[in-house]
Amino acid sequence: MSAPGGSSELEALTRYTWEEVRTHSTVASLWIVLRDPGAPSATLPRTPPRTLVYDVTDFHDSHPGGTDILLTHAGKDATLAFEDVEHSRYALIKLKEFLIGEIPERPVGKAKS
Q: Which residues of 80-89 are buried (b: 16+ CB within 10 A; e: fewer)?
A: ebbeeeeeee
DSSP 72-92: HHTTSB-HHHHHHS---HHHH
For residue 21, the 8-state DSSP code is: H
How far the first Cα of the chain sits from its last, in Å, is: 31
Is this prediction's pTM over 0.85?
no
Which residue did the predictor score with more confidence, 75 or 10? 75
Dist CA 103 CA 21 (whole Å): 9
Q: pLDDT, tens digit, for every residue of 65-89?
A: 888 999 999 999 999 999 898 888 8
Pairing assessment for the beta strands 14-15 and 99-102 based on DSSP bridges: parallel
Q: pLDDT, tens digit, for every residue of 18-63?
A: 999 999 999 999 999 999 865 555 566 666 778 999 999 999 888 9
Helix ranges (DSSP H) in the chain: 7-11, 18-22, 67-73, 79-84, 89-95
Confidence at residue 111, expressed as pLDDT on a 0 to 100 scale? 42
- Look at residue 4 and tell me whether its pLDDT is greater than 90: no
